[in-house]
Amino acid sequence: MSAVDFDALYVAQWRPMVRLAVLLVDDLHTAEDVVQDAFVALHRRSGALRDAHAATAYVRASVVNLSRSVIRHRQVVRKHLKVAEPEHVDGPDFHAMLSAEHREALAALRQLPPRQQEVLILRYWSGLSELEIAATLGISAGSVKSSASRGMATLHKTLGGMR
């Protein structure tokens, strides 16, 4: 038996990871696929990981990376395939349940460059520290700081100016 109890981790972390993914990819179906793939990746190497904390960090990093490639793929598909665009790409149903100001905030977030979105989601939803975000994204703490402050500056401008 390895140090990481895979099944327990899967049960405990599945929902938080899908929530993180849905914030990144904006579509529940894709989010669940991304998380499944992330756990498959973990499953392949769970024996190599020290503890549950490291395993969780590994899954989280996979979720962010896989989400990024999903989004990139989506953009390529949209650019080259104007016909038969998959449904749900620009307005997932759950948005209808949100209040107007929350929808506004999310719409403003979507306008930011991908890196800034990732940093802000990991900071304001996952509640990670700068160092943890840096480790998750594989960038320096300085880049985390600058991405966060640039992203927030833009949000202040967009959301502040609307009222």
Q: Which residues bind other proteins (CB under 8 A)?
A: 7, 10-11, 14-15, 18-20, 22-23, 28-29, 31-32, 36-37, 39-41, 43-44, 92-106, 109, 120-121, 124-125, 152, 155-156, 159-160, 162-163
CB-nearer residue toward other proteins: 45 or 50:
45
Which residues touch 30 (CB under 8 Å, ≥6 apart)? 21, 70
CB-nearer residue toward other proteins: 44 or 80:
44
Phi (first) and psi of residue 123, to 5 degrees:
-80, -50
- Output the smallest distance, CB 79 to other proteins, in A: 26
Cβ atoms within 10 Å, residue 42: 20
- Output the smallest distance, CB 146 to other proteins, in A: 17
CA angle 117, 123, 126 (to 5 degrees): 105
Which element (helix H / strand E) includes 57? helix 52-80
CB-nearer residue toward other proteins: 80 or 151:
151
